Chains A and B, each alone.
Chain A
Amino acid sequence: MSEEVARSQATQDQSQDVPTPSGQAMIEVDPTETTPRGGRSGGDGGGTGNAVTNLLKSGAGRNLGLVIALVLLCIVGVATAGDRFASTANVLTILRLAAVIGVVSIGMTFVITGGGIDLSVGAMVALASVWATTLATQQLATDYHWILMVSTALLVGAACGLVNGLLVAYGKIVPFIATLAMLAAARGLAEILSDRKTQIITVNSFVDFFGGSLVGIPVLVWMFVLVAAAGWVLLNRTTFGRRTFAVGGNAEAARLAGIKVQRHTVALYVLTGLCCGIAAVMLMARTTTGSSTHGGLYELDAIAAVVIGGTLLSGGRGTIVGTVFGVLIFTTLNNVFTLNNLSISAQSVAKGLIIVIAVLLQQRLAARAP
């Protein structure tokens, strides 16, 4: 089955990045910093303090369970793999792997919060990566600047998203079907363009820039941080974000309140497409290839991360911080399993369990909230 091909491809992706043990333990999250805010439903915190403290406060409060899960995973990692897990190199590896799917998941958070879903993210990543690495594009990039490859990927992603959005908002096709069609079509187009061959990137400046590090942290990770931060601000601090919640929570009420629901829906899908374009660039940098098999099953990984992060699949409630944790949890899980030489199948079972447990817990918590 092609699914399995895609899956093993993903595994290879990761195994390329298995680290060499060295350095100190470095666990990102310190649970003592969290301030659990019992029963309160405090949304965005008070009007005081800057965006960063708000992010920490609300993120930590609402996502305590996720923090605990992540810490538990890290403990398991340290216990079973010791220094091989708790090394700077390994942590950076986890972050590098998390970065690509993370950017996709940020886009997915928006579209799901807005009451939709996008199954075509993986296919859009593949198409964008192929289109940005065709001989012609690479030739242009060599002649002028690698920015042309980047803009190609972004444009392709945004264009696919635009088609998705138009089909959903104006064609009145349910998001599931519209993006399912895009899933099939975009990957097919990627196969045609690449003739099913892996396209090696020869533009060294591109690889050097995105493959490099900044203050010891890979550029890819910086990109994820930037996208996540921008996503948080966009969702929680702008009219765009407010409208996203409104449209996803109650489209009819939003319409009657005077919000342009259809236009907003289109914008959400374009945004997701754009995120896929960014993710394609990152994946191209990590693998130094463009391929129609890139991004296999990203839709499922992204949806899973978003949902365990606490975003409501039916829309109206969404959290960027939760999504980031969701992505980190799944990536760390993969890493721990890989370090312990456990099969990809066992990983899948564990993933399934985590999704179910996370959603069950959320329902309990939601029921208890005032």
Chain B
Amino acid sequence: MSDELLRMTGIVKEFPGVRALDGVDLDVRSGEVHCLLGQNGAGKSTLIRVLTGAHQPDAGTIHVNDELVSLNSPTDSMRLGIAAIYQELDLVPDLTVAENVFLGHEPARFGLTRRQETNTKARELLKGLGHGEIPPGRTVGLLSAAGQQVVSMARALSREARLIVMDEPSAVLDSEEVDNLFRVIRDLTSRGVAVVYISHRLEEIRQIGDRVTVLKDGATVATGLDARQTPTSELIRLMTGRSIEYVFPPRQEVPADAPVVLEVENLARPREFADISFSVRAGEIVGLAGLVGSGRSEILETVYGARRATGGVVRVDGRLLRPGRVQESVRAGVGLAPEERKSQALLLDQAVYKNITVSSMGRFASGGFLNGRAERLAAEELTKALDVRPAGVEHPVRNLSGGNQQKVVLARWLLRDCRVLLLDEPTRGVDVGARSEIYALVRKLAANGVAIVLVSSEVEEVLGLADRVVVMREGRAVHTGAAQDIDEHRVLDLVMEGSAV
């Protein structure tokens, strides 16, 4: 046990309405690559934030070198030698490579930075990482994603980190760069540094990992698994086997003569997705499944006109929508419930009814004057029908729970009688009880003839709710078919084995 560097026991972290972590155990030894596996929303990112001191756990203990510690701030974690390399790199783009490496602990004398020494030291670190070719004086913003990642790693090393967390480091890299990343990781571990490695690509875990810990629904379901020997099916079973069963409403047969409402043909945006085609009939739910970054949300936003398509067409009721025009989509009867409810959909400080009527204000206005009473009445009717709690339409939306906020967004589009509803992660941040309600609501909307496109990171949700699914991987549709004909394992296989194909 002497080589045990980190032990986290029973970590709990709650956010309003969500228990993000619910008893996580993790132990990491010096010199190993410890892989963290779990579906989106399993709690990996929150766990990292606890480890790096960005979040404080509500319960549980953390030991570093058998010593009980409390990580109250990122500085605490750094002092203990814990560093993280995030998916979104946290570099200052306008500073140089060397300045970024030593940001926060610049070599200095009498308060003056020592440029020469900084550059020399940075060069040594970069050389150690096998990237002596990166000039320390270059502005970081000019480097490639891979180069920036190396800088991030150099920064971690400059702090003499003993434990480096890497959150999906390979996501931005091509295969050659991944090889180099692995070389660096092996070099680090041979020096006794421990690496916590997060990736969705199972074959990478097989290649670089020593042990695996699997998270599901905020809790550790297995730990200390052998990264090379544990069969894929076992890992996927651990990740997906649910403790909570969601209730999905029964599917309804879409009538054969139901008209096609939404047609998407060869839709494309560079570096996001390409060649996406699907159509949705009235009353049908089509689900897009795939990992974060596989282009799902981007597709929805492009269909909606919030992003401008560079190729392909979108038709609603046979009418062409010009690309990049939200106005036109809204007029044609398209509604979007975006992924980031709070930043993209809601006016948090405004009353519930104002959030509901914001897209159909014209209906309540004469000569520009709003009829507040009519607005409230319409909103009350909807909130009652959707069972928004607390009742009443005067509360600021901020005070509502995630599930109820989502209902408010849906009510906005219900009020417009929209023909097409684009739902991006409709149950993110929604607690378990309210989920089934949202599912029932979505199904009911479909039954009323709305064409629905659903995006979710939770494969089960897509399969349970949709009539047809499109499986996405790295911006491409890799499978399209009826939801009944495919199961969760097969979908995960399709999206995760990724580059192995």
Interface residues of A, Cβ cutoff 8 Å to B: 41-44, 47, 233, 237-240, 242-243, 245-246, 249-250, 252-260, 316-317, 370
Contact call B359/A258, Cβ cutoff below 8 A: yes
Hey, what's the 0/1 contact readout for B377-410 against A, CB within 8 Å counting as 1? 0000000000000000011100100000000000
Q: Does B327 contact A (CB under 8 A)?
A: yes
By a CB distance below 8 angstroms, the chain A residues around B396 are 41
Q: Please determine whether A237 and B370 come into contact, CB atoms closer than 8 angstroms.
A: yes
Name the A residues within 8 Å of B304 (CB-CB).
256
Given contacts A252-B344, A253-B345, 17 further A-B contacts (CB under 8 A): A42-B394, A238-B365, A239-B361, A242-B361, A243-B361, A249-B348, A250-B343, A250-B346, A252-B343, A253-B343, A256-B304, A256-B326, A258-B326, A258-B327, A258-B330, A258-B331, A260-B327
- Smallest CB gap from A317: residue in B: B349
A238 near B370: Cβ-Cβ < 8 Å? yes
Taken together as a complex, chains A and B put the C-alpha atoms of A240 and B345 apart, in Å, by: 19
Structural contact, A253 and B368, CB atoms closer than 8 A: no
**C-alpha spacing A113/B458, complex, angstroms:** 39
**Pairwise interchain contact B350-A245, C-beta atoms closer than 8 A:** yes
Q: Are A257 and B306 in contact (CB under 8 A)?
A: no
Residue of B nearest to A42 (CB): B394
**Interface size range of chain B in the complex:** 35 or more
Q: Is the CB of A44 within 8 A of B338?
A: no
B426 to chain A, nearest CB (A): 15
Question: Does B482 count as interface, using CB distance less than 8 angstroms?
Answer: no
B260 within 8 A of A: no
Q: Are A256 and B306 in contact (CB under 8 A)?
A: yes
Which listed residue (B344, B349, B365, B372) contacts A44, Cβ 8 A?
B372
22 residue pairs from A and B, CB less than 8 Å apart: A43-B351, A44-B372, A237-B369, A237-B372, A239-B361, A239-B362, A243-B361, A245-B354, A246-B347, A249-B348, A249-B349, A249-B350, A250-B343, A250-B347, A253-B343, A253-B345, A253-B346, A256-B306, A257-B345, A257-B358, A258-B330, A258-B359
Residue B376 at the chain A interface, CB threshold 8 Å: yes
Given A47-B376, A242-B361, the answer on whether A256 and B394 have CB atoms closer than 8 Å is: no
Bound-state Cα–Cα, A256 to B301, Å: 9
Residues of A within 8 A of B361 (CB): 239, 242-243
Chain A residues near B326 (CB-CB < 8 A): 255-256, 258
Give complex CA distance A88, B6 in Å: 77
Tell me the smallest distance from the CB of B169 to a CB of chain A, in Å.
29
The smallest C-beta distance from A234 to any residue of chain B, in angstroms, reads 9
10 pairs of A and B residues whose beta carbons are closest in the complex:
A258-B330, A47-B373, A249-B347, A257-B359, A238-B368, A239-B361, A239-B365, A257-B358, A258-B359, A253-B345
Complex Cα distance A243/B359, Å?
A: 10
Which residues of the other chain, B, contact A47 by a CB distance below 8 angstroms?
Answer: 372-373, 376
Alpha-carbon separation in the docked complex, A271 to B74 (Å): 47
Q: Inside 8 A of A252's CB, which chain B residues have their CB?
A: 343-344
Taking a contact as CB atoms under 8 Å apart, the answer to whether A239 and B349 are in contact is: no
Q: Any chain A CB within 8 A of the CB of B212?
A: no
A259–B349 alpha-carbon span in the complex (Å):
18
**CB atoms of B369 and A259 under 8 A apart:** no
Residue B473 interfacial (CB < 8 Å): no
Q: Say yes or no: A240 contacts B347, CB within 8 Å.
A: no
A246 contact set on B, CB distance < 8 A: 347, 350, 358
Which residues of chain B come closer than 8 Å to A316, judged between CB atoms?
Answer: 347, 349
A366 nearest CB neighbor, chain B only:
B349
